[in-house]
A and B are shown apart, each in its own frame.
Chain A
Amino acid sequence: GESVGLHLPTLSVQEGDNSIINCAYSNSASDYFIWYKQESGKGPQFIIDIRSNMDKRQGQRVTVLLNKTVKHLSLQIAATQPGDSAVYFCAEKGDDKIIFGKGTRLHILP
């Protein structure tokens, strides 16, 4: 079936360090993945996406890596800032809906 999940519910990172948030998915037929950032009281904010025919995609301070062999997805945030504090969801496209995992809360330590 379709499901996505993150390895850790909480991640604490020192300000200025790089953050790596991991995600495993189960549907080997999934062809499109998205990372969303959700701040408290707000809707999910699109960060970056990747199709299954790619293994890496870079944005501004963010990189998404896709390993289809082990069905693993990761989000790397460079030089983590206080404004990066949020819950991060990996998600996959199933038919035409987005299937979300439970999320990882990223804490930024001063």
Chain B
Amino acid sequence: DTGVSQDPRHKITKRGQNVTFRCDPISEHNRLYWYRQTLGQGPEFLTYFQNEAQLEKSRLLSDRFSAERPKGSFSTLEIQRTEQGDSAMYLCASRNLAGEAQYFGPGTRLLVL
């Protein structure tokens, strides 16, 4: 399967703990995006990278959130000191600069207890 992959698919954690999610984009896709989706809503943009450079961050991305793409391939999204309000589906997408469409991974569902 050459689509976007995300790991883990599910994560349950206690409030205050740190969590890290990984995204592997479609091979050779330059741009990688993170979105968050809560129940009944559409995904909301968090941040995106072109190769290893983080080009934009949403105001939704508080200082407890940090994303990296150190080698311009996979990316990680870390949430420190998780809160119950962080419970959501975290989605990763990628696209090639030659095209417009973003292709999404299966998401990581986070539950903070």
Contacts and interface: CB of A to CB of B under 8 A. Distances in A.
Interface of A: 32, 34, 36, 41-46, 49, 51, 89, 91, 93, 95-103
A102 B104 contact: no
B91 A44 contact: yes
Contacts, number: 59
A105 B43 CA distance: 15
Nearest to B104: A43
Interface string B33-60: 1010000111111001000000110100
B106 interface: yes
Given A98-B45, A101-B42, A103-B42, 4 more contacts: A36-B104, A45-B104, A96-B48, A96-B56
B98 interface: no
Nearest to B41: A102
B3 to A, nearest CB: 9
